[in-house]
């Protein structure tokens, strides 16, 4: 059995998109192991707006999420999963026709489909839930549950992966997560509470749940004469160096406990929670110790600017520079894409890129097809030089297509990640 998980759920029905995104981001930063976001409105416009909101959330958060959505046709399920959701959740009371459900299961598999059942309105036995599993639904979400023996028998006897979704208090969470066949609980209990603190309390009471834990004791660190250890801080997505600060044992332990970077201020001689006054918190993604045990490397999700000057990074004063070729493939592709986007937004006379944008999608697609064919022909030749040239040509035209369709490299990277 894997570690137990606390998943936050968000009711997105009749809620502003900005509020949903803000809350999802907060949960992601504050320690939730995943998100369940739902809006079961059958109105087409409301559903499209919800899926657009979910796509914005996907770009912002870095924890898995599933979405509950009204599904009437196969296309509804496809659109929902194409947001990047790990699963789509269908309400039992709103299940589509049997042939539509069969098509969805056949196309996406049981790991991508969950069924939500209201146990208060329609109590299901394990035998009934197993019928859904045999039909091809791998996960069942139970809501409005009571901790009765009948409920425990359902969990114990179900072949499907059982999740709980309810407004739960901490004692309920502990009892549920202590059950042998229960690894995930969804709750909105933590909207205004400290998730890290709750998870640590669960851990202390014997629940095997993921919390930050230092694998090396602070006493094994090699400290400076003043009892501090330097910390180099990087953006976890880009690896950009943001700042350098210092920790003592107390600030290190606070960082582990809260999931927010906490330092020791040498000038004020006190602990310093980064962002406590500015709101520019640094949420910990990983902490590494160098080979000599004398420097910490922190990778963080930076909110706002890291530097007190308002600069994103403290390292913006150029001292010396030698021209060099960047060979990082992703950076090169991103920089080329940025140039294409700039041409789209700021047309330049004589630009071939602007010529393609002016001609429109059909011309861009024609060029993509031609370049793909030339790449295939080049691949049949024994020498690789021509193939490299044709691949570069194809990638350029493909990026023009991406820009035309409002897709960027992050969208593609996330989609590749979701396929692992």
Looking at the structure, tell me whether residues 160 and 285 fall in a common domain.
no
Report CA 72 to chain centroid distance, whole Å: 27
Looking at the structure, tell me whether residues 236 and 109 fall in a common domain.
no
Looking at the structure, tell me whether residues 27 and 138 fall in a common domain.
yes
Nearest to 87 by CA among 109, 103, 72: 109
Chain length of the chain: 420
pLDDT in tens, 89-99: 999 999 999 99
In a domain, 402, yes or no: yes
Looking at the structure, tell me whether residues 276 and 369 fall in a common domain.
no
Among 179, 204, 229, the domain-final residue is 204
Looking at the structure, tell me whether residues 191 and 257 fall in a common domain.
no
Widest CA span in the chain: 75
Which pLDDT belongs to residue 169?
A: 61
Looking at the structure, tell me whether residues 196 and 274 fall in a common domain.
no
Exposed / middle / buried, residue 288 (Cβ in 10 Å: 0-12, 13-18, 19+):
exposed
In a domain, 279, yes or no: yes
In a domain, 210, yes or no: no
Q: Would the pLDDT of 284 be above 90?
A: yes
CATH of the domain at 255: 3.10.20.810
Among 242, 267, 302, the domain-final residue is 302
Looking at the structure, tell me whether residues 279 and 138 fall in a common domain.
no
Looking at the structure, tell me whether residues 349 and 399 fall in a common domain.
yes
Looking at the structure, tell me whether residues 227 and 345 fall in a common domain.
no
pLDDT in tens, 4-49: 999 999 999 999 999 999 999 999 999 999 999 999 999 999 999 9
Which pLDDT belongs to residue 242?
A: 98
Among 204, 228, 244, the domain-final residue is 204
Most confident of 1-15, 108-122, 156-170: 108-122
Its sign, for the CA torsion 353, 359, 365, 366, is negative
Q: Where are the alpha helices (DSSP H) in 192-304?
A: 195-204, 249-258
Which residue segment(s) compose the domain that 406 sits in?
329-418
In a domain, 316, yes or no: no
Looking at the 3D structure of the chain, how many domains does it have?
Answer: 3
- Tracing tokens 């399920």 back to the chain, one arrives at 77
In a domain, 63, yes or no: yes
Model confidence pTM above 0.85: no
Looking at the structure, tell me whether residues 279 and 382 fall in a common domain.
no
Looking at the structure, tell me whether residues 289 and 345 fall in a common domain.
no
């Amino acid at each position: 059995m894997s570690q137990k998980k606390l998943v936050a759920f968000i009711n997105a029905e009749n809620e502003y998109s900005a509020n949903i995104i803000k809350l999802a981001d907060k949960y992601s930063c504050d320690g939730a192991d995943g998100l369940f976001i739902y809006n079961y409105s059958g109105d087409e416009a409301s559903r499209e707006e919800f899926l657009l909101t979910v796509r914005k959330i996907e770009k912002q958060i870095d924890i898995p999420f599933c979405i509950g959505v009204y599904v009437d046709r196969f296309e509804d399920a496809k659109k929902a999963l194409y947001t990047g959701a790990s699963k789509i959740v269908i309400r039992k009371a709103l299940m589509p026709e049997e042939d539509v459900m069969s098509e969805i299961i056949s196309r996406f598999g049981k790991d991508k489909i969950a069924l939500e059942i209201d146990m208060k309105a329609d109590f299901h036995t394990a035998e009934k839930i197993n019928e859904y599993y045999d039909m091809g639904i791998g996960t069942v979400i139970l809501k409005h549950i009571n901790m009765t023996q009948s409920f425990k028998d359902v969990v114990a006897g179900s072949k499907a992966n059982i999740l709980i979704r309810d407004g739960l208090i901490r004692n309920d969470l502990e009892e549920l997560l202590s059950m042998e066949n229960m690894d995930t609980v969804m709750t909105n209990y933590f909207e205004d509470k400290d998730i890290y603190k709750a998870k640590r309390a669960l851990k202390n009471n014997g629940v095997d749940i993921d919390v930050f834990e230092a694998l090396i004791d602070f006493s094994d660190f090699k400290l400076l004469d003043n009892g501090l250890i330097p910390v180099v801080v990087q953006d976890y997505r880009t690896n950009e160096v943001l700042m350098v600060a210092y920790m003592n044992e107390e600030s290190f332990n606070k960082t582990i406990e809260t999931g927010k970077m906490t330092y020791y201020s040498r000038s004020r001689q006190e602990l310093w929670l980064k962002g406590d006054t500015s709101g520019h918190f640094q949420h910990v993604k990983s902490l590494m110790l160098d080979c000599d045990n004398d420097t910490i490397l922190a990778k963080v999700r930076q909110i706002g600017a890291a530097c007190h000057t308002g600069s994103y990074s403290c390292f913006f004063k150029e001292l010396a520079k030698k021209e060099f070729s960047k060979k990082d493939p992703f950076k090169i592709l991103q920089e080329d894409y940025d140039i294409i986007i700039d041409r789209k937004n700021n047309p330049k006379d004589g630009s071939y890129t602007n010529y393609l944008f002016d001609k429109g999608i059909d011309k861009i697609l024609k060029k993509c097809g031609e370049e793909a064919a030339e790449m295939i022909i080049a691949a049949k030749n024994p020498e690789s030089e021509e193939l490299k040239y044709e691949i570069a040509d194809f990638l350029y035209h493909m990026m023009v297509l991406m820009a035309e369709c409002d897709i960027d490299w992050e969208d593609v990277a996330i989609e590749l990640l979701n396929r692992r």
